[in-house]
Amino acid sequence: MCPAVAPPTDAVILSALPLANMSVTLEPNDLPPLGLAYLTTAGAHPVDQIKAAAAGGFAWVGLRLVAPIGLALDHPIAGHPKMLHAIKRAFADSGTSLLDVDALTITASTRVADFSLLLDATAELGGRIVQVVVEDPVRPRAVAAFTALCEAAAQRSLTVALEFMRWRVVNTIVDARRFLAESASQNGAICVDCLHLSRSGGRPEDLIDVPAAQVAYVQLCDAPKQLPAPDQFVAEARADRLFPGDGQLRLNDLLDQVAADVVLSVEAPRWADRERSARERAVLAGEATRGFLAQRHARSRAPDT
């Protein structure tokens, strides 16, 4: 099962976006715990990401401990005691916590033992979730590697969240659920990324019969309804998303299908923000997301007409 996550303890006053032209007070139980995903402040030093998350009003932070295949890791963490100490101090000073680490990739040559240092670092930092994608086309071998990873993660009280993407071997939520069923690992779950759900042909209705325990967390962003060019899917996902409420994805319908207390991690790297500091990006993301949630909350409380 996924670890329980407690929401922030203080009431938060939220200013809605200009469209609403109003302020809404959300009590603690009305506001889901918010996380700041790595990509929203991609490239920044981990300590700066943590400070930025606190400035943006986030309770949780996502860090990158392994680079996706073909990319370089900007700031190595696992196996670097000074960096680990600095990150732990930043978490303690900011009052935030580590939610997830990315981006493990299961390939044909994956040896789970090679992930031990990363899993140890995640546990040492108090993390809860290890995110993984699958690039091994041989299904039995990929499932076996995932299962072994889950076993190693369970020894450290970690959940392993499988993220599906249009261009990966496991590329839809339907296939991700099949993959989890084939593994049958108790601490295996799914990372539901709003963009990847839409771009892979999925719909919010695909989540109706997904058990709450199988949704590790939701990565929240927005995007235009129109699909990008075929060669732009990766670029859009990594650097050209929109803040929640600024696009045309069916975010409200999606959130209606998941548990009210599921962690929402804002993964919204915007091309327009590429020159901004990590703090500026986090503050903008936090304000926009809380504005979106305030409008959603207000609509849910509005009397039927």
Measure CA of the first residue to CA of the last residue in the chain; give whole Å.
40
Amino acid 281: pLDDT: 98
- Better-scored residue on pLDDT, 92 or 12: 92
pLDDT tens readout for residues 263-292:
999 999 999 999 999 999 999 999 999 999
- Type of residue numbered 278: A
Q: What angle do CA 146, 151, 152 make, to 5 degrees?
A: 95
Amino acid 11: pLDDT: 31
Does residue 3 fall inside a structural domain? no
Does residue 6 fall inside a structural domain? no
**Tokens 């709450």 -> residue:** 212
Does residue 305 fall inside a structural domain? no
Per-residue three-class SS string for the chain: CCCCCCCCCCCEEEECCCCCCCEEEECHHHCCCEEECHHHHCCCCHHHHHHHHHHCCCCEEEEECCCCCCCCCCCCCCCCHHHHHHHHHHHHHHCCEEEEEEEEEECCCCCHHHHHHHHHHHHHCCCCEEEEEECCCCHHHHHHHHHHHHHHHHCCCCEEEEECCCCCCCCCHHHHHHHHHHHCCCCEEEEEEHHHHHHCCCCHHHHCCCCHHHEEEEEECECCCCCCCHHHHHHHHHHCCECCCCCCCCHHHHHHCCCCCCCEEECCCCHHHCCCCHHHHHHHHHHHHHHHHHHHHHHHHCCCC
Please say if the pLDDT value at position 28 is more than 70: no
pLDDT tens readout for residues 128-155:
999 999 999 999 999 999 999 999 999 9
Does residue 4 fall inside a structural domain? no
**For residue 101, what are the domain limits?**
13-299
Amino acid 303: pLDDT: 67
Q: What is the mean pLDDT of residues 70-79?
A: 94
Does residue 291 fall inside a structural domain? yes
The CATH number covering residue 23 comes to 3.20.20.150
Q: What is the mean pLDDT of residues 182-199?
A: 98
Amino acid 103: pLDDT: 87
What are the tokens at 81?
A: 């005691």
> Into how many domains does the chain fold?
1
Amino acid 300: pLDDT: 77
Does residue 163 fall inside a structural domain? yes
Does residue 276 fall inside a structural domain? yes
Q: What is the mean pLDDT of residues 111-131?
A: 97
What are the tokens at 107?
A: 């390939």
Question: Residue 245: left (phi > 0), alpha (psi -120 to 50), or beta?
Answer: left
pLDDT tens readout for residues 199-253:
999 999 999 999 999 999 999 999 999 999 999 999 999 999 999 999 999 999 9
Least confident range from 15-19, 46-50, 53-57, 213-217: namely 15-19
Please say if the pLDDT value at position 162 is more than 70: yes
33 pLDDT tier (thresholds 50, 70, 90): confident
Does residue 7 fall inside a structural domain? no
* Beta-carbon contacts of residue 240 (< 8 Å; ≥ 6 apart): 269, 270, 271
Claim: this prediction has a pTM higher than 0.85 = yes
Distances (CA, A) of 296 to 73, 256, 260: 37, 10, 13
